Structure 1
Amino acid sequence: MTNSHTNSLQLRIGIVGLGNAGSALLPSIAKHPNVRVTAASGRNKERLEKFARDYQAEYHLSVEDLCRSEQVDAVYIASPTELHVKHVQIATHYKKHIIVEKPLAVSVEEADMLIQAADRAGIHLIVGHSFSFEPPIRKIREIINEGTLGNVKMINNWYFNDWMYRFRTPEELDTALGGGVTYRQGSHQFDIIRYIGGGMLRSVRAMTGRWDESRPTEGAHAAFLEFENGTVATAVYNGYDHFLTTELTFGIGEGGPSKRAQGYAASRKAIQQLKNSDEERELKSQKGYGGNQSKNYSEEKHHQPFFGLTVVSCERGDIRQSPNGLYVYGENEKYEIQLPNETGRDVMVAELYEAVVHGKPPIHDGRWGKANLEVCQAVLESARERKEIYLSHQVAVDSSERKVSK
């Protein structure tokens, strides 16, 4: 805890960046009885002023001014990936607790630097891999731990969508700056797989694809992952807007119904109509807080979200998601488990609160984030070198078992 205010069991959060991610967290902060948003920073003064009116909060045009504020105990860093290192360093300098969007950084060396800075400052650093916070993924892990289906043997996550043709900034299409599906979406995919499997991956063999010269980054990958205990996993991602896995997941994606209702390849066709990258950047900005195309995240969820098709095989049964929970395929029967209608972001806010106020070690800490980043890098390296890559920075899900893999 950084000041006397957190001793009163209240936590005040400042938002760095009011784009899609920053806006999406606001309803989850509002739901928590002991957490509130008190400030935001960004580059668009008009939208910051609207935010300040809507939330009776401060606004700042610089991250440093936000972190300097005495009205802020913790920050949610939802700025572009290439700015994560700088912004985390500023937050640690002012001893603010942190949730930082995935990926934590673009290299393991940068991640180590940020983890060490947080340790020196005595603050909690959580990486926002929100999809492993979702109720179905956590429940799968719980079923595995109960042992009724035996040990987990195989985990598969396959996701086909339109990621490459959603409105993007040039930085999001630059692998060196953390762009492309392997860094941006593999971070979620590998996080889900590692969480279900216990965390300790041994090696990666993968291939990646750059199939559209106008979008010069990885738009697809296929990875074979092996855990230390012999459990295996596949991670397949294709963001080129042809087949969508929502056809296999009841028409439900990450945030609701399939976009196919807008017409086949709607995102790809919309991108082809744009004049230049400046027009695309402006359209992307309109999806942020107060923009013409911003979402109402508080009304978004009607079913459990699907990050692609996830199928988990244990010794005595299989598990996959249903619209409202899980289908379990046991030895003698198939049954459904209904799950609470909460979001992964709700749980992420709660994990930060429990860490800061009650001292409960978070699962998704900096070392967990570094381990996921290592997998992203290993996928890219394996594809480039066409060989298996062995991992050395993996950590267990259970914080009491945390140790670096050999």
Structure 2
Amino acid sequence: MEPLRLGVAGLGVAGDVLVPFVDHHPDFVLAAGADPAAPAREAFAGPGRAVFASVEQMCASDGVDAVYVATPTHLHAEHTIAALRAGHHVIVEKPMAVSMASAAAMVEAADEAGRVLLVGHSQSFEAPVRAMRRIVASGELGALQAVNAWYYTDWMFRPRTPDELDLAMGGGAPMRQGAHHVDIVRYLGGGLLHSVRGQVGQWDPGRPGQGAYSAFLEFDDGTPATIVYSGYDHFPSTELTFGIGEAGRPMAGYAVARRTLAAAAGTAEADIKRGGAGAPGRQRELLRGGTHQPFFGLVVVSCERGDVRVSPDGLRVYGDEQAVEISLAGEPVGRSAMLTELADAVRTGSPAVHDGRWGLANLEVCLALVESSRTRSEVPLAHQVPLRR
């Protein structure tokens, strides 16, 4: 079959990181890009790539079959619905929207258009998480007993645009990074969370926005899970993950983000992020793929007869009598797996795993975490869906 022609809506970091994965994927060809910023369009343009000043113009063209929505979170619903109504399939970046109402409208638009809506890129597309889920589902270590996921980063001190730190616009760690954590935990546990009890933190008055969270999650069957995150550039989780970061690359240095941001004082953070300050933005650098397995911090799956965690080249399974290494060599990396999931859903008509309802359920948990912190109470969940096999 002919490759699907993909248009990228939003040519910032997320869109830029996806480009090489599209170029090397047999089911896709990069056909178009849209961004209001002329420099971004000029950097993207090339043979066979049309460029547009607006997402609506790209969606109205006849040169794309699918759209990757990587615009700011508060624009996700608008751009996703426009693409779906124009007859295109959609991958929308996480978190899928800023509100449950917006997310529900996106799901409804996909249903009405008869098109595939996929939510990504999130960490459950990555090979180690998928492999851990296979172990849980197989029952070889007995029933799942707990999932614990902790991540300490420099997220708050990477160059940020205002919307990335504004909760009302889908910003802050509970929305931006919680979307990954919640996705991991729900994927490993089968999807059906029952409730959330958590706290969010704003720990640095000089860096406004919610930069940390701690939460206790409970599945319908009573299985517990914890997610803990800090983006304040103090303790780095790489000390617990063999020195390897979330893209599978060694991460060295202490408080690099703080020093880099301080040294660039006087330069607009949006320019630094795009690499306009004479060097690639830290976010783009951190997302460049490496040769090891990716680590979204420390994730430990506990079953009746063993624990499982990610190792540099696969998984480490700690059983009753010995620890065993499982290689994941040759497994597709997350963004490639994401593209394959969309192509398979489009061509076979089978439902996608990370569809709109899955993304909506993830969003519900992130919003419930913020609400739980505000009310200092447990928040029940009403829109959870099971993991598709």
Match of 1:27 among 20, 31, 48: 20
State the partner residue of 1:322: 311
Q: Which moved more, 1:190-199 or 1:213-222?
A: 213-222
Give, in angstroms, the shift of residue 110 of structure 1.
1.0
State the partner residue of 1:14: 7
The letter of the residue matching 1:390 is: P
Which structure 2 segments of 5+ residues have no match? none
Match of 2:201 among 202, 209, 212: 209
State the partner residue of 1:44: 37
Give, in angstroms, the shift of residue 45 of structure 1.
2.2
State the distance in 1 between where 2:133 and 2:248 align: 23
SS at match of 1:65: helix
Say whether residues 1:398 and 2:388 are aligned partners.
Answer: yes
State the partner residue of 1:293: 280
Match of 1:343 among 315, 327, 333: 333
The letter of the residue matching 1:36 is: V
Say whether residues 1:144 and 2:152 are aligned partners.
Answer: no
Q: Which moved more, 1:335-344 or 1:76-85?
A: 335-344
Which structure 1 segments of 5+ residues have no match? 1-7, 400-406
SS at match of 1:311: strand
Distance 1:74 1:363, change over 3 A: same
Deviations 1:340-373 (A, max 9, x none): 3431000000000001112121010000000000
State the distance in 1 between where 2:272 and 2:43 align: 19
Tell me the number of residue pairs that the alignment of Structure 1 and Structure 2 aligns: 386
State the partner residue of 1:134: 126
State the partner residue of 2:87: 95
State the partner residue of 1:306: 295
SS at match of 2:45: helix
Aligned 8 A contact 1:205 1:387 in 2: yes
State the distance in 2 between where 1:180 and 1:44 align: 24
Q: Which moved more, 1:81-90 or 1:201-210?
A: 81-90
Match of 2:182 among 190, 205, 212: 190
Aligned 8 A contact 1:40 1:48 in 2: yes
Q: TM-score, normalised by structure 2?
A: 0.95
SS at match of 1:159: strand
State the distance in 1 between where 2:166 and 2:39 align: 29
SS at match of 1:260: coil
Give, in angstroms, the shift of residue 213 of structure 1.
1.6
Aligned 8 A contact 1:371 1:395 in 2: yes
The letter of the residue matching 1:57 is: R
Deviations 1:369-391 (A, max 9, x none): 00000000110010110010000
The letter of the residue matching 2:6 is: I
The letter of the residue matching 1:19 is: G
- Supply the RMSD in Å over aligned alpha carbons: 1.9
State the partner residue of 1:362: 352
Aligned 8 A contact 2:154 2:233 in 1: yes
Identity of aligned residues (%): 49
The letter of the residue matching 1:268 is: R
Give, in angstroms, the shift of residue 292 of structure 1.
4.6
Distance 1:293 1:139, change over 3 A: same
State the partner residue of 1:159: 151
SS at match of 2:245: coil
Say whether residues 1:105 and 2:92 are aligned partners.
Answer: no
Aligned 8 A contact 1:129 1:191 in 2: no
SS at match of 1:172: helix
Aligned 8 A contact 2:247 2:287 in 1: no
Give, in angstroms, the shift of residue 85 of structure 1.
1.4
Give, in angstroms, the shift of residue 9 of structure 1.
4.1
Q: TM-score, normalised by structure 1?
A: 0.91
Give every structure 1 segment of 4 or more consecutive aligned residues whose post-TM-superposition deviation is greater than 4 Å. 294-299
Deviations 1:216-257 (A, max 9, x none): 211110000000011110000010000000001000011244
State the distance in 2 between where 1:129 and 1:279 align: 27
Match of 2:379 among 365, 383, 389: 389
State the distance in 1 between where 2:270 and 2:280 align: 13
State the distance in 1 between where 2:366 and 2:43 align: 37
Deviations 1:10-65 (A, max 9, x none): 21100011111111111221222121110000123233234222x52111111011
SS at match of 2:268: helix
Aligned 8 A contact 1:64 1:90 in 2: yes
SS at match of 2:42: helix
